[in-house]
Chains A and B, each alone.
Chain A
Amino acid sequence: MKHRQKITRAAVILLSLVVAVSVSGCYDQREIDDLAYPLAVGLDIGEANILRMSLQLAAPLAIGGGGGGESGGGGGGAATETTSIITVDTPSIYSGLDLINNIISKEINLSHAKVIIISRALAEKGIMEYIQAIQRGREFRPNMFILVSEDPPDEYLANLTPILESNPSKYYELLLGKDYASFFEDIRMSDFHFASEVDFREPTAILTGINKKERVDQLAQSGNKELAGKMEGVYQPADIPVVSELKNVVMGMAVFKNGQMVGTLNGAESKCFQMVTGKYEHSYWTFPDEYDPSKMVVMDIMQRTSPKIKAVIKDGKVFIDLVLDLEGDFTSIQSSSDFEDYPDQMENRASEMIKNEIAAMLKKTTDEFNSDICGFGRYVKGRFMTLDEWKKFNWPERYSDTEFNIQVKLKIRRTGLIIRSMGHPG
């Protein structure tokens, strides 16, 4: 019995030693301080090589210290940047990482990368080979945001200077993941990847760019005067009439077909896109007053229920019935008309205008892009019993012939804090 106890004790000690030695550090053990974490990866067409890759590396000490303040060491007092940008021309993403690892002291680890920024030039050339490489890599997160930049990513990243956030990672999350800015959709790498491989939907990416305006007097040159007073968000990123210390602007979406960018939707069109796909939350819409076109009625419009979409095939042509169920709150009635008492007028007018906007956006996807970015194919394939029949139908080529029957139901529910507009005494 004693002998047995001795053996057990020896076995336990031996096992403890084995565990202690083997789990205290293995081949894959990495000190967090030995790694460099890129927060953004930029891809562009290279000159010295096929691809130009830019990494926005986080400087954790500066981020932890509030950014722009003193470094963690406390000495010196020199201002520190929260990020550092490094750009390399390379044959591929992974060989680029190897090159960068020869320059910086720490090992690159992509597990905290938040965004992939692709230049418009590269997006138009085709990006599937890079998307595939990103999907294969274990460090890239599938919930990274995917952006197309009108400007070269290295330039874009250099102009990216978050002011309200010291942590650039949180900045990306808050800017791109918000559900109340409807001028672009929250598009992640996994969404893009799914859409680029299936035959019933085409992918989109968030459109971004640099706002180069420095002074207020430059605003007059931007935007389209004809659009003044019409829908908000009818801009491309560089056209927004805004002057800000924050130079990067996110507005609209890049449209893809067969892995290549074929066009863009502006902010207003992106709003319509989100209504159709059911991802719209709420935003403000400005409508001209029926009785006084110089005055506006502003409403906060939200999507009450998911859109109802029905696809019918007649003689090889697809007809889509789209019903949108919206509700709105009055936010501003400039003319002081009594729309609160007679909301039907405004409901009809607003729903008609929204319907026209959506029809125009859909027409753009069929006629200009021939790209089913809204994923109507999902409903069309439900009309087939087998995959073979569906493939023979060849939806991606037939999308341009699709006809839409749009119905927008809008109900005004609330009036804000004012129940009746009294107007000016004069």
Chain B
Amino acid sequence: MQMGNRIRFGSFEAVTFISNLICTKLFLYYTRLTMEDAANAGWISAIVSGITVLIMLTVLLRMYRKFDGKDILDISEIAGGKFLRFITGTVITLSLFTLTVVVIRKFSEDMKIVSLPVSPLSYVMSFFIIGIALACFFGLEAIVRFHAIVIPVIVAGFVVILLGVTPQMDITNLMPFWGTGIKDILTKGFLRSSVYGEMAVLFLLPPFLGGQEKVRRVGYGAFFLSAFFMILGSLIYILANPYPTGLEPFLPIYNMTRVIAFGRFFQRIEALFVFIWAMAALLYLTSTFYFMVYTFAKTAGLKYIRPLVLPFIVIVFSAAFIPDSLMEVISIETYIITGGWLVAFVFTGLILAAASARKRVRKEKCSK
């Protein structure tokens, strides 16, 4: 696969692609996290996160208007030459590398806890690793098109789960209304905008999307779709799980599916959960891994991606074993979901601002 080969895909594919990158956290921890942040008012905190991201995204898209068709690496070159392009590429590659390593380890550990307790971690992880490698060999077009097919299935499964817990819901679980207080809702809600950090991948997509109007449409489309499910997931989790019981589950949505039972026959819905959860995980890992390799290759000026896939697979697989335990992975993850917004939104914003300023200066010089 050549870097120069220009692939184009539609808005729907791109929206499902970015939405999955954001919403996978719903299956992992997000609902519990909102409860940890603001107790009963976690869902309000989720709304605050959504509003924060909407504001940041609007600012970024407005700044991006001057760079039609260019991705963040090209823009960084405009802002600070090859050096800034190298810095930007390194930051993005390392961010995506960290996300891939943390998530592959966590998903494998989750899978081990939920379904494969006896299997060695390396064996469980190898399924994800093989899946990622194969998908990357098939290329971005295959990955994105597969998103467009699978995401509606995942959404349907998730909706079934949410509907299934309706009998467990109790409106009084939302009381006291402000939970741990307005201060927590605002500050933690703001910091948790980091869970939308993968939105930054939007600024790697323009060469594949085309015009900037399409970038705008994809950005807002992915945001509203993700925010809807993130807020809905948080609200329904709190309605179905009273505080502080809802803080306990390691995999909140999985635990929620375990209590779904209608009569003697419609039970054990977690089988559906494991299915949609594994699909979402594989898509997430494939996406982050692909763009990690893509960014690395583009930063290094390499023409082909495929030769990089296997070396990076080996590095990711090895790095995933560095954390000693699941608890250590969770603590690394906590840093990411608290400070991720700095890389995703502030860093991107600074590059766009610097590039805009540089462009303006150049324009002024030219006009003089």
Q: Is A33 an interface residue (CB 8 A)?
A: no
| Contact indicator B180/A28 (Cβ below 8 Å) | no
Which residues of the partner chain A approach B181 to less than 8 Å between Cβ atoms?
386-388
The contact of A384 among B116, B127, B175, by CB within 8 Å, is B175
Per the 8 Å Cβ criterion, residues 227-262 of B in contact with A are 241-245, 248, 255, 258-259, 261
Closest-CB distance, B341 to chain A (whole angstroms): 26
Contacts A384-B175, A387-B180; is A27 near B119 (CB within 8 Å)? yes
Q: Is B153 an interface residue (CB 8 A)?
A: no
Closest-CB distance, A307 to chain B (whole angstroms): 13
| Contact indicator A386/B176 (Cβ below 8 Å) | yes
Per the 8 Å Cβ criterion, residues 267-326 of B in contact with A are 267
The contact of B117 among A15, A138, A389, by CB within 8 Å, is A138
Which residues of the partner chain A approach B178 to less than 8 Å between Cβ atoms?
385-386
Which residues of the partner chain A approach B261 to less than 8 Å between Cβ atoms?
143
The contact of B176 among A15, A27, A387, by CB within 8 Å, is A387
| Contact indicator B113/A385 (Cβ below 8 Å) | no
Determine the interface band of chain B, counting residues with CB < 8 A from chain A: 35 or more
| Contact indicator B120/A382 (Cβ below 8 Å) | no
Which residues of the partner chain B approach A245 to less than 8 Å between Cβ atoms?
none
Interface digits, A226-261 against B, CB 8 Å rule (1 contact, 0 not)?
000000000000000000000000000000000000
Q: Is A13 an interface residue (CB 8 A)?
A: no
Stretch with Cβ within 8 A of B (4 or more), from A44-52, A94-102, A190-198, A342-350: A190-198
Which residues of the partner chain A approach B130 to less than 8 Å between Cβ atoms?
18
The contact of B258 among A28, A141, A378, by CB within 8 Å, is A141
| Contact indicator B120/A194 (Cβ below 8 Å) | no
* A189 to chain B: closest residue by CB: B259
| Contact indicator A26/B176 (Cβ below 8 Å) | no
| Contact indicator A378/B172 (Cβ below 8 Å) | yes
Contacts A27-B123, A141-B258; is A197 near B244 (CB within 8 Å)? yes
The contact of A385 among B127, B177, B243, B255, by CB within 8 Å, is B177
Interface digits, A372-389 against B, CB 8 Å rule (1 contact, 0 not)?
000000110110111111
Main secondary structure of the interface of A (DSSP, over half): helix
Q: Is B39 an interface residue (CB 8 A)?
A: yes
Q: Is B365 an interface residue (CB 8 A)?
A: no
| Contact indicator B176/A385 (Cβ below 8 Å) | yes
The contact of B243 among A143, A198, A389, by CB within 8 Å, is A198
Complex CA–CA separation, A387 to B238 (angstroms): 14
Which residues of the partner chain A approach B213 to less than 8 Å between Cβ atoms?
none
Contacts A27-B119, A143-B259; is A198 near B176 (CB within 8 Å)? no
Per the 8 Å Cβ criterion, residues 149-188 of B in contact with A are 170, 172, 175-181
Closest-CB distance, A175 to chain B (whole angstroms): 13
| Contact indicator A387/B179 (Cβ below 8 Å) | yes
Which residues of the partner chain B approach A15 to less than 8 Å between Cβ atoms?
134
Complex CA–CA separation, A39 to B164 (angstroms): 25
Which residues of the partner chain B approach A200 to less than 8 Å between Cβ atoms?
172, 242
Per the 8 Å Cβ criterion, residues 1-59 of A in contact with B are 15, 18, 22, 26-28
Most buried by A among B118, B134, B242, B261: B242
| Contact indicator A381/B123 (Cβ below 8 Å) | no
Q: Is A173 an interface residue (CB 8 A)?
A: yes
How many contacts A-B (CB < 8 Å)? 77
Which residues of the partner chain A approach B241 to less than 8 Å between Cβ atoms?
194
Closest-CB distance, B328 to chain A (whole angstroms): 20
Closest-CB distance, B267 to chain A (whole angstroms): 7
| Contact indicator A28/B264 (Cβ below 8 Å) | no
Most buried by A among B113, B255, B258: B258
* B175 to chain A: closest residue by CB: A382
Which residues of the partner chain A approach B117 to less than 8 Å between Cβ atoms?
28, 138
Complex CA–CA separation, A173 to B13 (angstroms): 46
| Contact indicator A194/B39 (Cβ below 8 Å) | no
| Contact indicator A143/B267 (Cβ below 8 Å) | yes
The contact of B119 among A26, A135, A177, A381, by CB within 8 Å, is A26
Q: Is B356 an interface residue (CB 8 A)?
A: no
| Contact indicator B258/A198 (Cβ below 8 Å) | no
| Contact indicator B116/A27 (Cβ below 8 Å) | yes
- Residues in chain B within 8 A of chain A (CB atoms): 39-40, 113-120, 123, 127, 130, 134, 170, 172, 175-181, 241-245, 248, 255, 258-259, 261, 264, 267
- Residues in chain A within 8 A of chain B (CB atoms): 15, 18, 22, 26-28, 135, 138, 141-143, 170, 173, 177, 190, 193-194, 197-198, 200, 378-379, 381-382, 384-390
A-B contacts, 11 of them at CB < 8 A, read A138-B114, A138-B117, A190-B259, A194-B242, A197-B245, A198-B245, A384-B176, A386-B179, A386-B180, A387-B179, A388-B181
Excluding A15-B134, A27-B119, 9 further A-B contacts by CB distance (< 8 Å) are: A27-B118, A135-B248, A142-B258, A177-B264, A197-B248, A198-B243, A200-B172, A379-B172, A387-B180
